[in-house]
Amino acid sequence: MRKVIIVKAGNTLPALIAGKGDFEDWILSGMQADGKATVVDARDGAPLPAYGDVAGVIITGSHAMVTERQPWSERVAAWLPGLIERQIPTLGICYGHQLLAYALGGEVGDNPNGREYGTLAVYLEEAARDDSLLGGLPDPVEVHVSHTQSVLRLPPGARRLAHSERDEAEAFVVGETAWGVQFHPEFDAAVVKAYIAYAAATLRAEGQDPDRLAADAHDTPFGPMILRRFLQIATGG
């Protein structure tokens, strides 16, 4: 049986790993994968799966930056267009969102509006109305974010699906089966609060209030809903 491949692009904070697991664990849990997904660590040099062997692909977040162009990241970037050409369902999350945009000819760099952390409102575009991943969600939809870099220019042919007050490209789609989401559908409130605490000094230096961001953080059902939808798209469930 072909499975959804979670391409691991990084690790979360050590304290979170010890207590709650890592990015891929949260994705598997949110999807309710039930044996339909497996993890490949992109950083260990192992071959990426053959296109015909995968039902879909999710690229995780990372503390690396796409603009660093690390060799493992460039290898994944070179592999991604083949997924789109074959209409294999693909979902890039945060780093994965940026890497997908970069791989397809978009531009990634530091968000000119500063870092974006917390539970926030993401506003859906008209193009999201009938989208199979984001369609039917409330507008705005509340999700968790934690990032420094952003997609500054969408790749050719991409359609913007969502934006926030600080980021013009919170979500996009290429074709009908390849999405990037800057937000973290796998995060819960505890995770996003840990990231706010981790970045508190930098956020204060930018004029943001990490105490308020932490106080406003709360669980929402929409991240897991998006992950489950993606699994259904990829596996035909």
- Catalytic annotation, residues: 94, 184, 186
Kindly state the tokens that stand for 232: 């259904």
How do 107-110 and 116-124 pair as beta strands? Answer: unpaired
- Side-chain-side CA neighbours of 225 within 13 Å: the count stands at 14
Distance in angstroms (rounded) separating the CA atoms of residues 62 and 83: 21
Beta bridge partners of 3: 54
Instruction: Give the chain's length.
Output: 237
Distance CA 52, CA 167 (A): 35
Vertex 76, ends 81 and 172: CA angle to 5°? 55
